Every structure is written in C-alpha cells, then in structure tokens.
C-alpha cells in the first residue's frame, strides 16, 4: 500500500507532439453571423463515435485563450453548434481566409482532434468612405486630363463583397477613373474632362457612389466638394511608397514607431504638408496616432503581440489646397516573454480509490503559454515526495498518473504541486496545486488487540455479569472501519455457546448468560468474530478461553462408612491385633478441587480414646496399641472429615468396631445396635423356621417309617442336625471394584451367624442412596484437582473415574 519512491519528472513539452496525435482532424465551413444554436457539423458521425460516448469520454472543446468559445457540443445529437456570434470582420479583418481553430478533447484514452472552422464572409457591410465630404481645390487653369486623387471607399467584407465599382454623379467637368494597384487597393481619381471657369462656377458638389459586388449589393456615398482657384499647385510626394517598422510589444505609450514624410514642391501654404490615416483598422486606431504636422506615428494604447502582431494602414499627405498622395505603413510587433505558462486542470478523478493500480491516470493537465517560439516552450515538473508523475501526452497535455500504490490509511490526501516554466529569457513560471483525496476501500480486516483472550470467573457467578472485553481495530474509513462483534456459533458441552456467553456487538464486552458450576466444567473456549461494515465485509476471529475457578461449595462426601450411622456396618477387630494394625478406613471424596478437596480425617469421639488413631489424610484407622482382654468389645468412633477450603466444610460418620475373633462369640452383638424391627423379624423367622423344620422332620419320619416298614432296611439320611447355610461376608462389605466405581445397584446381602440362637438379618439399602444422586456419580480424581488452569485448551471436562 505504500508507494515505493518517487520520481522527479521533467518533461519537455515538445515531446508531447509525438504521442497520441490523432490523424482525424476535422474541418467545417460556416457563414459568419449564424444564430447561436445553428449546427456546424456532426462530430459523432465524423469521428465514427457513438453519440453516448461523447459524454462518457468527457468530450469538450478547448480553444486557445485568445479565441472566444465560439462552439459547443450538443451531447444529445453529437452536433457542434454555434455558441457565440461569429463576426468574420472582427475575427480576421481583411484576411482572405478566416479560420478558427480549436481542439476536441476526449478522455479515456486521451485523444485530441483539431477542428478548423472556416468562416465564410457574408455581405453584411456596406462600402464606407473615410469622410462624407472630400474637399478639392483646383485652379481654373488646370488642363483637361489632369487627375485628382480622392479617398477610396472601404468595405469590411472580402472578395465579391468588397467594393467593386464607383460611379460619379453626372456632370460636365469630371469623369471617374479607378485603377487597381499592385497591393489590391484602388486608386480613385477624378479626371478633368472639360476645363473649369472660375467666373462661371466657384465650386461644385459631386456625389460618388461606391458599390460592392454582393448580392444584393450594398453601397456607400460621399460628396466631393470642388473649389475652383486661381493659382497653380503641386501635390505632396511621400519619400517611400511603403514604410515598415518593428515594435516590441508592451512598448510604452508615446513611443514613436516611425516618422513618415512627404515633400511638396510648392512654397508657403501650398507647401505645408499634413498627414492623416486614410485607411486604418479599428484595432489600429486604438493604439496608434499620426501626428498630423510631423508625420510621427506614436503608440497610444497597449501593444500586445498575442492579440495583434501586425498592423497595416494607409496614410495621406495633404497640402493646403487639399492635393494629396498616399503611402502604406506596416508595423510588426515583436514578442516579449510577458506571459507565464498557465496550467489548466482539465480533469481530475477526485477522490481516487486507494486500490487504483500503479500507472492509473488520475488527471489531465493542459499547459498554455501565449508567447511564441522559445518564450512559449514550456517544461513541466511535479514536486518530489508524492507517488505521482506527469506523463506527456498529446500537444501540451500531460497525464497525471500514479507511480505506486496508494494507501488511504497512511496518506489520505495529497497536495500535488505542478510547476510549468517557459524557455524565455528570463523564464517565467507558474505552479498549480492539485488537491487529491484518496478514497477508502475496505482493505483492512478488523484486527484484535490480543492474539487470544483469557477470562477467569469464579463459579456460582451471577448470570449477566461482565466477564471480559475484546477489542478489534480497523483503520478503514467510516463503515469500512466500523467493527461489530459477535460470537461464532459453536457448541459447548452440547449446548449452544449463546447459552453461556453473550457479546455486546458494539463494545465487545462479554457477559455471562448463566451461572457456571466448576464441578460441571472447568473451562471452555469460544470464538468471537469482529466484522466490519464494508461491502463485502472483512472479518477476523479470536479465541476467548473461559476458566471457571473453584469455590468451596461442596462438603466432603463420606462413602464409607455410611454416614447414616447404621450399626450393621461393623468392623471385626481380631483380639490378637497388635498395635499399628490396619483396622478399617474411612473413605470420603470432595467434589471441589485443590485445597477445597484436600481432606483431613480426625477422630472426634471414641469409646476408648487411646486405642485407635486415624491417618490425618489417609483416613486409615489403626490400633494404637495391642488389644488387651480388658478392652471393651464394642468400640465406637466418630470421625470428622474436613476439607481445606476457606471456610472449610466437614462431614462426620460413626464407625462401629467389634473386638472379636468370631461373630458367633458375641452374644451381645445385637446390643450394639438393637433394633426392634430386626428382633421381631428374627422372632417371626425363627417361628417360621421351627414350624417348617418340625413339619419337615415329621414328614421325613413318616416317609422313613413307611420305608422301614416295607423294606426293613433302615437308612439314616439325616443325623438330626440342622444344616444352616452360612453366607459369611467380610466386614468390609461395601466393595469397591477395580475401576473404583462403586456399584450403584441396590445390594441385598444377608448373613446368618452360624450356630447362633438368634439370627441377624441385615437389610442393606443402597449405600449411595442419600449421599449421591444416581445420575451424578462422582468421577473426579483428586490428582486432577491439582492442575486446574494448566490446560487452557480443554473443552468442558468429563469427570474422570475416581481412582481410589
């Protein structure tokens, strides 16, 4: 996006001629004085362009500054139409061929066509004599055939429309003679046809009519006033038939351009020669005067080479009697470097999109210098340090093109200064600053400030609480840089992520939607997307890992012995047990983790405080010393299990111990946990057993009696002893299987003490009945509790099976 270096461009305008020059020059011819709107010709047809292309290619007519903007393009029809009244006489004066030149500029690609408009003359001017009345003084002695020059008439039109004939009012003395001079002008003379007689006529008035050759023709009239004199006279004679002078433009007022002189052979009044312009253009009249006495032509107005470089005029020299002769003066104006080049911005793509490839044309510049030759040769340059250069195109046109990539995020606008210098001495220069904005393109995706985010929340949080916030930046402009946050759809633990978290689209603040339970899952990961509002939008995403911290909200759960305190969970301790023997073990777990699940065991009450100890953290109950005969048979221990949380939670259980080698030796066993229901049940069972046994024995005796009587071969099958099934279960009946998972089904175990007079039936309900709901089996390994935040990647954890 950054432009690589810049180049300083100096280009000679002259090279421009070589490039792009199109052959398709057009020329049209129209009469002068056409109404504005009149059609000159059809550009579209003549250039072979579709009409619509003219406006899309920004067709326009450029004229040099000294010309008025005479023509326009009608984009609907493709016609060139007259815009301003064209007066051939004003435009071209006496030039035979009057051509207006202008240029047709087309862009994309830049194309230039020269258009020449030949302006034809119409007969819109009448011949005019310089003066309405011309005075002639003629001596009566003048001979027949003597010629007297009078001013010719002038018609601003050209060709046929200019003065073609003169007629003289009928009179007896004079006839008219018209001669054509070499330079095209006429010499109009009155020729004396019959001698004058002062005594008869003092003066006479003759009417001269000049007519042009137009159709219809126009005419002009002047009166020649002839005074008849007594004396003789000579006409003045100019020293040169043609005076040439050269005048630098901008010459100050009062400058003498040239001095003309004519001499008259007469003396006195007859020899006093005066000078005057006999024929002079309106333009020349404004800038020159002719001193009538001295013959000096002086500057009285601004001389500008660029508007008029040449003046032609005719002058008359007259003596006191009105006899005259004429001569011609040509003044050439020389150029001075008085015009600085002018830079015109012909088109500019502003703003330019930042993704414009290098060498994109962003503007077209035209440079004009009104001076001529060297003074009008222009060099153009562009300032350093901008990724643009000027490429010469067709004549005096330059394309402003990019040299590298633009990046609005780095530079959003350029002030490009173009300088044009001419080759005059001293040179003149001018500069123009072009302001170019770079338009945004959605070329930057939002970028998160962090590679990834982590958020910590303690469990049992309030739903709706703020978790953390993410921020992404997009340097593009307006909506292209407006960042909108959203959660990427995903599932966490089988539920949509939106049921866990929500993100504020504008601010990127993440809120919790529900309360988290550390025991349910410890961490999860979501992805937040930042998208801009461009079209098409750009986006990026970031991961947010959420870690749930544990709170000591679970008290220890005692798995064994059942905290219900049922006395049938009785441990047998052999009488011969030595000090330090393992007697039993309290098994407890805590659903929390870390310190909150670090359990310690303590005997808080016991029948004989000195006999048993419990491992602080193992929960193993051992004898502290050898068992002696004096120790009570029944020993009860109340054990407290505490976790290490703040504050700590605890649970207690009772452990029943029986010091005996054989349960049968313990008549008082039932006293350990005397149970009314059990006794009754036992009672009924005994009755039932006795009845069944009695009935069975009686039945056997009867059968035996019958057999004995028949075969007389008595055979004894039973010795009268009662066989009692013995299902001895080890005291640690709550089995823990290999994987550590406790059996969740109901256990129904019964045992009878062999040979006892009373039988104990023990109905064991599910040991986890009240401690744990069947569907929420603990599967947490204490070793897992240690590494809480170690694994940031883990999705909601599955509890691993208890391994103890």
| Span of 367-375, 392-400, 435-443, 698-706 interacting with ligand NAG by CB under 6 A | 435-443
Q: Closer to ligand NAG by CB, 442 or 753: give it.
A: 442
Smallest distance, Å, CB 440 to ligand NAG?
3
Instruction: Report if residue 479 touches ligand NAG, rule: CB under 6 A.
Output: yes
| Span of 472-480, 646-654, 670-678, 690-698 interacting with ligand NAG by CB under 6 A | 472-480
- The string over 510-539, giving b where at least 16 C-beta atoms fall within 10 Å of a residue's C-beta and e elsewhere, is bebbeebebbebbbbbbebbbbbbbeeebb
Q: Closer to ligand NAG by CB, 51 or 441: give it.
A: 441
Instruction: Report if residue 440 touches ligand NAG, rule: CB under 6 A.
Output: yes
Q: Closer to ligand NAG by CB, 177 or 543: give it.
A: 543
Contact 591, 635 (CB under 8 A): no
Which one of 1, 128, 345, 441 is in contact with ligand NAG (CB under 6 A)? 441
Smallest distance, Å, CB 439 to ligand NAG?
6
Q: Closer to ligand NAG by CB, 340 or 530: give it.
A: 530
* Chain-centre distance for alpha carbon 374: 46
Q: Rounded to whole angstroms, how far apart are CA atoms 255 and 299? A: 5
Determine how β-strand 39-42 pairs with β-strand 413-422. Answer: unpaired
Q: Rounded to whole angstroms, how far apart are CA atoms 477 and 351? A: 14
Instruction: Report if residue 704 touches ligand NAG, rule: CB under 6 A.
Output: no
The angle subtended at Cα 787 by Cα 785 and Cα 791, nearest 5°, is 125
| Span of 278-286, 476-484, 703-711, 715-723 interacting with ligand NAG by CB under 6 A | 476-484
Determine how β-strand 60-62 pairs with β-strand 99-106. Answer: antiparallel
Instruction: Report if residue 295 touches ligand NAG, rule: CB under 6 A.
Output: no
Q: Closer to ligand NAG by CB, 144 or 478: give it.
A: 478
List, in order, residues 6 or more apart from 125 with CB less than 8 Å away.
89, 155, 156, 157, 161, 218
Instruction: Report if residue 453 touches ligand NAG, rule: CB under 6 A.
Output: no
List, in order, residues 6 or more apart from 382 with CB less than 8 Å away.
8, 9, 388, 389, 390, 400, 416, 417, 418, 419
Smallest distance, Å, CB 528 to ligand NAG?
10
Which one of 541, 607, 682, 781 is in contact with ligand NAG (CB under 6 A)? 541
Smallest distance, Å, CB 360 to ligand NAG?
16
Residues forming beta bridges with residue 228, ordered by sequence position: 138
Smallest distance, Å, CB 535 to ligand NAG?
6
Smallest distance, Å, CB 530 to ligand NAG?
10
Q: Closer to ligand NAG by CB, 399 or 442: give it.
A: 442
Smallest distance, Å, CB 488 to ligand NAG?
5
Q: Closer to ligand NAG by CB, 261 or 482: give it.
A: 482
Q: How far is CA 132 from CA 127, 225, 289, in A?
A: 12, 10, 21
Residues forming beta bridges with residue 40, ordered by sequence position: none
Nearest of 68, 52, 208 to residue 127 by alpha carbon = 208
Which one of 99, 253, 488, 664 is in contact with ligand NAG (CB under 6 A)? 488
Instruction: Report if residue 415 touches ligand NAG, rule: CB under 6 A.
Output: yes
Instruction: Report if residue 681 touches ligand NAG, rule: CB under 6 A.
Output: no
| Binding positions for ligand NAG, 769-798, rule CB under 6 A | none
> Reduced to 3 states, what is the DSSP secondary structure of residue 246?
strand
List, in order, residues 6 or more apart from 484 with CB less than 8 Å away.
505, 506, 530, 531, 532, 533
Q: Closer to ligand NAG by CB, 142 or 441: give it.
A: 441
Taking the CA atoms of the chain, what radius of gyration do you get in angstroms?
65
Smallest distance, Å, CB 280 to ligand NAG?
50
Q: Rounded to whole angstroms, how far apart are CA atoms 477 and 229? A: 98
| Span of 76-84, 228-236, 323-331, 477-485 interacting with ligand NAG by CB under 6 A | 477-485
Smallest distance, Å, CB 108 to ligand NAG?
20
Which one of 214, 236, 424, 534 is in contact with ligand NAG (CB under 6 A)? 534
Which one of 477, 521, 568, 656 is in contact with ligand NAG (CB under 6 A)? 477
Instruction: Report if residue 352 touches ligand NAG, rule: CB under 6 A.
Output: no
Q: Rounded to whole angstroms, how far apart are CA atoms 792 and 555? A: 27
Q: Closer to ligand NAG by CB, 377 or 444: give it.
A: 444
Tell me how many residues contact ligand NAG (CB under 6 A). Answer: 13
Q: Rounded to whole angstroms, how far apart are CA atoms 239 and 262? A: 6
Nearest of 121, 96, 92, 97 to residue 310 by alpha carbon = 92
| Span of 438-446, 686-694, 714-722, 760-768 interacting with ligand NAG by CB under 6 A | 438-446
> Reduced to 3 states, what is the DSSP secondary structure of residue 277?
strand
Smallest distance, Å, CB 435 to ligand NAG?
6
Q: Closer to ligand NAG by CB, 133 or 437: give it.
A: 437
Q: Closer to ligand NAG by CB, 417 or 502: give it.
A: 417
| Span of 28-36, 273-281, 439-447, 722-730 interacting with ligand NAG by CB under 6 A | 439-447
Instruction: Report if residue 366 touches ligand NAG, rule: CB under 6 A.
Output: no
Q: Is the dihedral of CA 517, 520, 522, 524 positive or negative?
A: negative
Smallest distance, Å, CB 305 to ligand NAG?
35
Contact 610, 625 (CB under 8 A): yes
- The string over 221-245, giving b where at least 16 C-beta atoms fall within 10 Å of a residue's C-beta and e elsewhere, is bbebebebbeeebebbebeeeebeb
Smallest distance, Å, CB 484 to ligand NAG?
14
Q: Closer to ligand NAG by CB, 283 or 527: give it.
A: 527
Count CB neighbours of 785 within 10 A.
Answer: 19
Cis omega before residue 216 (within 30°)? yes
List, in order, residues 6 or more apart from 87 with CB less than 8 Å away.
32, 33
Smallest distance, Å, CB 344 to ligand NAG?
20
> Reduced to 3 states, what is the DSSP secondary structure of residue 43?
helix
Instruction: Report if residue 197 touches ligand NAG, rule: CB under 6 A.
Output: no
Smallest distance, Å, CB 11 to ligand NAG?
24
| Span of 225-233, 313-321, 440-448, 580-588 interacting with ligand NAG by CB under 6 A | 440-448
Smallest distance, Å, CB 516 to ligand NAG?
25
Residues forming beta bridges with residue 472, ordered by sequence position: 448
Q: Closer to ligand NAG by CB, 488 or 687: give it.
A: 488
| Binding positions for ligand NAG, 12-41, rule CB under 6 A | none
The span from the first CA to the last CA of the chain, in angstroms, equals 64
Which one of 9, 161, 442, 678 is in contact with ligand NAG (CB under 6 A)? 442
Nearest of 305, 347, 323 to residue 107 by alpha carbon = 347
Nearest of 503, 497, 499, 512 to residue 458 by alpha carbon = 512
Smallest distance, Å, CB 534 to ligand NAG?
5
| Binding positions for ligand NAG, 101-140, rule CB under 6 A | none
Smallest distance, Å, CB 334 to ligand NAG?
40
The angle subtended at Cα 421 by Cα 420 and Cα 423, nearest 5°, is 145
Across 609-752, the runs of DSSP E, i.e. the strands, are 612-614, 620-623, 634-642, 650-659
Q: Rounded to whole angstroms, how far apart are CA atoms 558 and 566? A: 14
Instruction: Report if residue 84 touches ligand NAG, rule: CB under 6 A.
Output: no
**Would you tell me which residues interact with ligand NAG (CB under 6 A)?**
413, 415, 435, 440-442, 477-480, 488, 534, 541
């Amino acid at each position: 996006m950054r432009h690589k270096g810049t180049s300083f461009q100096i280009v000679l305008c002259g090279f421009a001629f070589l490039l792009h020059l199109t052959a398709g020059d057009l020329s049209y011819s129209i009469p002068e004085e056409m109404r504005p709107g009149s059609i000159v010709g059809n550009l579209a047809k003549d250039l072979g362009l579709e009409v619509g292309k003219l406006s899309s290619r920004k067709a326009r007519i450029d004229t040099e500054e000294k010309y008025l903007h005479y023509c326009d393009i009608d984009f609907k029809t493709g016609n060139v139409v007259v815009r301003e009244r064209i007066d051939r006489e004003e435009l071209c004066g006496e030039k035979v061929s009057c051509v207006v030149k202008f240029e047709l500029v087309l862009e994309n690609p830049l194309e230039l066509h020269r258009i020449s408009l030949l302006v034809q003359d119409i007969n819109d001017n009448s011949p005019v004599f310089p003066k309405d009345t011309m005075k002639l003084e003629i001596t009566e002695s003048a001979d027949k055939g003597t010629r007297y020059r009078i001013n010719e008439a002038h018609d601003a039109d050209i060709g046929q429309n200019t003065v073609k004939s003169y007629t003289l009012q009928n009179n007896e003395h004079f006839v008219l003679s018209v001669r054509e001079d070499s330079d095209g002008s006429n010499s109009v003379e009155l020729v004396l046809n019959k001698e004058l007689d002062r005594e008869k006529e003092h003066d006479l008035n003759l009417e001269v009519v000049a007519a042009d050759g137009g159709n219809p023709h126009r005419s002009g009239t002047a009166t020649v006033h002839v005074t008849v004199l007594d004396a003789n006279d000579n006409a003045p004679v100019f020293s040169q038939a043609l005076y040439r002078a050269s005048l630098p433009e901008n010459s100050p007022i009062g400058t003498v351009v040239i001095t003309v002189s004519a001499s008259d052979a007469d003396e006195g009044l007859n020899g006093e020669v005066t000078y005057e312009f006999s024929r002079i253009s309106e333009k020349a009249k404004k800038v020159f005067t002719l001193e009538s006495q001295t013959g000096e032509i002086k500057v009285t107005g601004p001389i500008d080479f660029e508007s008029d470089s040449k003046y032609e005029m005719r002058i008359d020299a007259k003596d006191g009697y009105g006899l005259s002769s004429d001569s011609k003066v040509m003044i050439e104006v020389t150029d001075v470097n008085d015009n600085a080049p002018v830079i015109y911005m012909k088109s500019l793509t502003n703003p330019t999109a930042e993704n414009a490839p290098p060498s994109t044309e962003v503007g077209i510049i035209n440079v004009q210098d009104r001076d001529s030759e060297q003074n009008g040769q222009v060099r153009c340059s562009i300032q350093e340090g901008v990724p643009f250069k000027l490429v010469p195109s067709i004549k005096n046109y330059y394309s402003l093109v990019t040299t590298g990539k633009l990046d609005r995020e780095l530079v959003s606008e350029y002030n490009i200064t173009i300088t044009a210098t001419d080759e005059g001495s001293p040179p003149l220069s001018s500069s123009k600053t072009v302001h170019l904005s770079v338009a945004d393109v959605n070329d930057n995706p939002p970028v998160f400030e962090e590679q990834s985010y982590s958020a910590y929340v303690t469990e049992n949080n309030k739903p709706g609480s703020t978790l953390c916030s993410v921020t992404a930046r997009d340097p593009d402009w307006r909506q292209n840089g407006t960042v909108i946050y959203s959660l990427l759809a995903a599932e966490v633990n089988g539920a949509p992520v939106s049921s866990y978290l929500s993100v504020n689209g504008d601010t990127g603040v993440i809120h919790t939607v529900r309360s988290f339970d550390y025991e349910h899952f410890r961490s999860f990961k979501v992805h937040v997307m930042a998208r801009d509002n461009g079209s098409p939008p750009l986006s990026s995403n970031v991961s947010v890992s959420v870690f749930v911290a544990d709170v000591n909200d679970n008290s220890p759960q005692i798995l064994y012995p059942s905290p219900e305190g049922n006395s049938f969970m009785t441990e047998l301790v052999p009488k011969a047990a030595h000090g330090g023997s393992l007697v039993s073990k309290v098994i407890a777990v805590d659903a929390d983790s870390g310190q909150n699940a670090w359990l310690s065991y303590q005997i808080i009450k016991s029948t004989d405080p000195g006999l048993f100890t419990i491992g602080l953290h193992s929960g193993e109950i051992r004898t502290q010393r050898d068992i002696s005969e004096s120790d009570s048979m029944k020993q009860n221990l109340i054990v407290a299990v505490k976790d290490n949380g703040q504050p700590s939670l605890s649970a207690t259980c009772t452990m029943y111990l029986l010091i005996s080698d054989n349960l049968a030796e313990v008549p008082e066993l039932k006293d350990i946990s005397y149970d009314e229901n059990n006794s009754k049940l036992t009672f009924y069972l005994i009755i039932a057993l006795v009845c069944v046994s009695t009935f069975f024995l009686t039945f056997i005796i009867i059968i035996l009696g019958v057999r004995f009587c028949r075969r007389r071969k008595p055979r004894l099958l039973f010795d009268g002893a009662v066989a009692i099934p013995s299902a001895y279960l080890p005291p640690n009946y709550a089995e823990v299987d290999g994987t550590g998972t406790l059996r969740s089904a109901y256990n129904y175990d019964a045992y009878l003490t062999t040979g006892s007079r009373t039988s104990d039936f023990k109905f064991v309900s599910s040991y986890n009945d009240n401690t744990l709901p069947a569907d929420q089996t603990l599967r947490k390994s204490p070793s897992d509790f240690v590494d809480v935040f170690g694994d940031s990647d883990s999705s909601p954890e599955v509890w691993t099976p208890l391994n103890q």
